[in-house]
Amino acid sequence: MLQNQFKKFALATLWLTMMSTCGISNAADPFPSKNLRIIVPVAPGATNDFLARSLAVELGKVLNQTVIVENKPGANQIIGTSELAKSAPDGHTMAMLISSHVINPYISKSLPYDPEKDFTPLAMVGIMPGLLTVHPSLPVKTFAELIAYAKANPGVLAYGQPGGNSSGHLTMEYLKKQAGIDVLSIPYKGGGPAIIDLLAGRFQVFVNSPTATMPHVKSGGLRAIATTGAKRPPALADLPTIAESGYPNVVTYEWYALFLPAKVPQAIVNQLNGEIVKIMATPVMQKRLFDIGAESRDDNPAQFAKFIAQESQVWGQRIRQLEIKPE
């Protein structure tokens, strides 16, 4: 009898020891435990693709894991964003999204994901204002002159849409409403085709990222008039903002940020955010941001989530003012 009791005690002790060891092992599992993936919901060559690939190299060094960039373009970035929403919430998959992430819910009747519940805002990688440029044949050199010309010549000017309901398109529509000007809208499937026609003089006004248009400003093919942010970015300090030129409500940005799927453990979110913030503050990444007219932010996850919520609210209000109906 005593021997049987001893055997039972020994087995119970062994079982408890194994379970305890198992729990310690699981709690101490390192992150990351495999390759990481950054989904980019646009084709190669776009600004968020460039930033994702630049960051992937540096993040891989810090985490001692390969960081793979996968392009998943289509449907105004909804395809790639949907894939992120369905990914395992273990921190190994993230996506480099842009401002359209908070615009899409207001212009789409249905999305294959919940824009608030299915994602965890991780970190801001770069934020830049739009750049308002005109064809040099237009007899204006300042923003005030552009507005005066548009008011004196209603319906004569045209602007190019760098993609329907993009931030460049919506910024121009919002400016038109705020300034009370009549400017024709010409849709394009992306900024590249639009810039070709702008350089050829087929339309006169354009709002797009500095990345795409500044080379043409420097070569004399385009004339820069203003930027769309709340303040002048360091790389474009000589240009006034639309806000300081009399329209304080016209403040828009194109931002590039990393998101995780929902329910990723907070410890992993904090770890990734901390590493990304440090990487983006390095001289090499600061130089890359400066070269494209962007800046970094050192928001922690809570601060970044608050920024995203504010951006969503602002764009929702603007889209309602513009009376754009979901499609």
Q: Which residue stretches of the chain are H helix? A: 2-27, 47-63, 78-85, 100-107, 143-152, 167-179, 191-199, 210-219, 266-280, 283-291, 301-321
CA distance 172 to 111: 25
Q: What's the pLDDT band for 169 if we cut at 50, 70, 90?
A: very high
Q: What is the pLDDT of residue 6?
A: 44
CA distance 160 to 144: 20
Give the domain 36-128+253-321 fold. D-Maltodextrin-Binding Protein; domain 2 (3.40.190)
Read off the pLDDT of residues 217-263 as tens digits, 9 standing for 90 and up.
999 999 999 999 999 988 899 999 999 999 999 999 999 999 999 99
Q: What is the pLDDT of residue 327?
A: 85
Choices 3.40.50.10860, 3.40.190.10, 3.30.450.20, 3.40.50.300: CATH for 131-245: 3.40.190.10
Q: What's the pLDDT band for 15 if we cut at 50, 70, 90?
A: very low
Strands 184-188 and 158-162, by their bridges, are: parallel
pTM (2 d.p.): 0.86
Cα of first residue to Cα of last residue in the chain, in angstroms, is 78
- Domain locations in the chain? 36-128+253-321, 131-245
- Say whether 131-245 and 36-128+253-321 share the same fold: yes
Could you tell me which residues come within 8 angstroms of residue 230 by beta carbon, excluding any fewer than 6 positions away? 241, 243, 251
Q: What's the pLDDT band for 166 if we cut at 50, 70, 90?
A: confident
